[in-house]
């Protein structure tokens, strides 16, 4: 079955470390997205990519980086510059023009 796989489900980071969250899709979607979810704030867009080797900053890109070397993969790196990284991270992909997103099951990142 087609879908989006996020890994790991839970991730713990020490202060000052970079960590990378994985997102893989087999839906043949061109566009992929990373959202951050905090209590009471809904989902906020971090980065998005509409084609391979191209990506744009979303509303809260500071302290994050991404790459899009393959259509299927869109990893997110949370760098040490991100001051408050503890959150739930959701990856999504989409067909163009008006279709809803398909979401992964998310990664819960906690700074310890």
- Which residues make up the interface to other proteins (CB under 8 A)? 31, 33, 35, 40-43, 45, 48, 50, 56, 58, 88, 90, 92, 94, 96-103, 105-106
Closest separation between CB of residue 107 and other proteins, Å?
Answer: 10
Closest separation between CB of residue 86 and other proteins, Å?
Answer: 15
- Identify the DSSP state of 93: E
CA proximity to 49, closest of 26, 62, 65: 65
Closest separation between CB of residue 62 and other proteins, Å?
Answer: 17
- Tokens, residue 36: 């951050």
Give whichever of 16 and 40 is closer to other proteins, judged by the CB atom. Answer: 40
Q: Which residues have CB under 8 Å from 105's CB, separation 6+?
A: 6, 9
């Amino acid at each position: 079955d087609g879908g989006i796989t996020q890994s790991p489900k839970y991730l713990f980071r020490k202060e000052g470390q970079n960590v990378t969250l994985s997102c893989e899709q087999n839906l043949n979607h061109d566009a992929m997205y990373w959202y951050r979810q905090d209590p009471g704030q809904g989902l906020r867009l971090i980065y998005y990519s509409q084609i391979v080797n191209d990506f744009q900053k979303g509303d809260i890109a500071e302290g994050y980086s991404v790459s899009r070397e393959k259509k299927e993969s869109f990893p997110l790196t949370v760098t040490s510059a991100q001051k408050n990284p503890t959150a739930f991270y959701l990856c999504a992909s989409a067909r163009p023009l008006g279709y809803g997103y398909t979401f992964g099951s998310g990664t819960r990142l906690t700074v310890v």
